Amino acid sequence: MVVDERMPYAPYPSPAGTAVAAPPSPVASANGSGPWFLARANLGVLIDLLREDGRTVIGPKVVDDAVVYDEITSVDDLPAGIGDEQSPGHYGLVQKHDRRVFDYAVGPLSPKRWTFPPVVPLNVGRRDGRAVTFEPAAIDPPALAFLGVRACELAALGIQDRVFLGGPYTDEDYRARRRNALVIAVNCTTASSTCFCTSMGTGPEARGGYDLVLTELDEGFTVRAGSPEGADLVARLPVRGADAGQMFRAAEAVGKVAAMMGDPVPTAGLHDRLLAQFDSPRWAAIAERCLSCANCTMVCPTCFCSSVTQRSDLDGDVSTSERVWDFCFTAGFAKVAGGNFRSRPRDRYRQWLTHKFATWVDQFGTFGCVGCGRCVTWCPVGIDIRAELLQIAPPLAARPEPARARPVASTPGSFATARIVAVRPETDDVTTLTVGDVDPAFLAGEFGQFAMVAVPAFPPLPISISRFGRDTIDLTIRAAGPATAAIIGLGPRDEIGLRGPLGSSWPIERAMGHDVVIVTGGIGLAPLRPLIDGILAQRDRFDAIHLYYGARTPADQLYREELRGWAARGDIDVQLTVDRAGPGWTGPVGVVTHLFDRATWDGDRSLAFVCGPERMMEATVEALEGRGLAPDRIFVTLERHMECGIGLCGHCQTGRLFVCRDGPVFSLAQVGDIFGREGI
């Protein structure tokens, strides 16, 4: 039995953030799919069989000094011993000293030229006096066999499947052409300098969407089947089982290509990073070079924009409507009765790039780019989207180290010592200790994590890290019992014990490109302070920032100087309220959720971070949901009794969760119905 591995289209949209159109796994050899070996001398047999089956074979061929897809009738048409050199704005062929026929990167044409042709008739309209009729154009696609399709092009076909077949409306012409096409793929054993399929997760190995896949060796090809049609074709070929050496060399060749490319486009968080840069000055800089020639969209294997044109007889009685390729770079693409809403080249380039790497995800669940590099090679002025993406939307580095730091002295019986370097009273019962001589792991901690803090003769306590300095951390502590009183009673040069950093963190990357709503009360501002630091340090990555802070009295507000400084910046909305006003207080009085009454932010475009007493958080969550925030975009931090900090003592168990190990930061979707439930 052979499982059909041709890439099925999937309904859209998938969850936002999906990186690529992920193909299914290869068919296992136990299912009869291979691998086999086809000698180089027998490749012509494959082409002959395809033609005998009544298929037009579309394969690689040298035309006008480029390797392009075109009709081929024999193995002699293939580009034997031909390679290519590609770089931004440059393409050239090179002669190689071998007889390999697939030893080149992709050319300017892709299978889209046949599955979604540049011109397709839609209907014929006729006028007879006052009566009109419209007849749909006949759909009669040719039987095709594509030979030499690369992994990125398979992914592109899968993406177009989603566009044309995966939604509530389908393109019947496209459906018929896809059904009538056989796909023979080739794993890449070479790549050009413009390829970046590894970043997009689409290659260089074909992992789905094919009927057959070949890997070229000097002496021939390893062969696998990915569909029943492919298996039937193999049964007619003069193949034998591939031996271990051939399989190893084929895998090694593909692996070397992947290693050579590396990961030039970091895609994690790219959707939000890019949408946060609509006003980047880089768009204007690109427009100074961009010719608006639409070359990039013409060679792209996924672009699907089109227009409808009319051809009619001289009397206008018979006309034919045709769908023709169109491009968002052309001046008239965005023309409406009131003018052109994308009249500037910078607007058109921004539309194209943000669609490819951001809004395509919202619409269809994948990126609209497969990393084939055609747009880089065939841009006349050599604009490289990889470089532009890094300039416009560089990866967000919330902390210097990309990986979470391994906790120091993580077991309950061990502590690392650190020295207090400064003590700063915040209120009558709250003090901030600045701690130095800490292990570097603490300096690499993440916003929202905590430390287990201990002094002899008292139990260890979980304390949120309220600031990460260059070589210090801040711990903001309220005197709530003997242990906390003992800790804040220490002075400079006194030592304390630390374990950590522990727990989950505020997901700052998820907030990129969104409005950020921070709601807190009392000492709950302390765990949120590093998040605010991180957002303000990279302010241009976020939309509007709103901080709502409630305290018992004006004297109970934490970080009063910082609150004034944040408000004075002008790029963060700071709103304060108190339960009881004191002398000189002229601001709002009441619960913190009353500050939402005049808010204009859109819940659908916001993420919220909430910390404070649980009753306050329950009321805040209810108000946020009422403004349209979904549970997976509301994050809270829970306070529970913790003694071990790593989920081994049982004190902090809340339903199925250990707050210390699984939290303390949770999305509302994670905690579900246990949030706010009495006694849980």
Using a cut of 0.85, tell me whether the model's pTM lies above it. no
Q: Of 1-10, 323-332, 621-630, 669-678, which gets the smallest average pLDDT?
A: 1-10
Q: How confident is the model at residue 677 (pLDDT cuts 50, 70, 90)?
A: low
Query: Helices 385-392 and 345-354: crossing angle, nearest 10°?
Result: 90
Reported as a single tens digit per residue, the pLDDT across 536-587 is: 999 888 989 999 999 999 999 999 999 999 999 889 999 999 999 878 888 9
The pair of structure tokens assigned to 602 is: 């859109």
Give the CATH architecture of domain 508-674. Answer: 3-Layer(aba) Sandwich (3.40)
pLDDT(499) > 80? yes
User: Tokens 């707050």 appear where?
Assistant: 659
Measured over all CA atoms, what is the biggest interatomic distance in the chain, rounded to whole angstroms? 102
Reported as a single tens digit per residue, the pLDDT across 419-449 is: 999 999 999 999 999 999 998 888 888 999 9
Quick one: residue 17, left, alpha or beta (phi over 0 = left, psi -120 to 50 = alpha)? left
- Assess if CATH 2.40.30.10 describes domain 416-502: yes
pLDDT for the residue 6:
38
| Mean pLDDT, the chain, integer | 87
How many C-beta neighbours within 10 Å does residue 338 have? 6
* Distance in angstroms (rounded) separating the CA atoms of residues 38 and 482: 79
Arithmetic mean of pLDDT, 221-245: 94
Q: How confident is the model at residue 30 (pLDDT cuts 50, 70, 90)?
A: very low
Reported as a single tens digit per residue, the pLDDT across 88-111 is: 999 999 999 889 999 999 999 999
pLDDT for the residue 398:
46
In what helix (H) or strand (E) does residue 422 lie, and over which residues does it extend?
A: strand 416-425
pLDDT for the residue 403:
60
Cβ density class 179-216: b for 16+ within 10 Å, e for less: ebbbbbbbbbbbbbbbbbbbbbbbbbbbbbbbbbbbbb
Structure letter (DSSP) for residue 605: G
Reported as a single tens digit per residue, the pLDDT across 140-185 is: 999 999 999 999 999 999 999 998 998 888 899 999 999 999 999 9
For the chain, the structural domain boundaries read 33-115+143-261, 416-502, 508-674
pLDDT for the residue 28:
34
Higher-pLDDT residue of 680 and 249 is 249
Q: Is 595 helix (H, G, I), strand (E, B) or coil?
A: helix
Q: What angle do CA 430, 436, 439 make, to 5 degrees?
A: 120
> Position 295: which residue type?
N
* Distance in angstroms (rounded) separating the CA atoms of residues 224 and 29: 8
Phi and psi dihedrals of 287, rounded to 5? -60, -25
User: Tokens 């009085």 appear where?
Assistant: 589
Q: Are the CB atoms for 661 and 504 separated by under 8 Å?
A: no
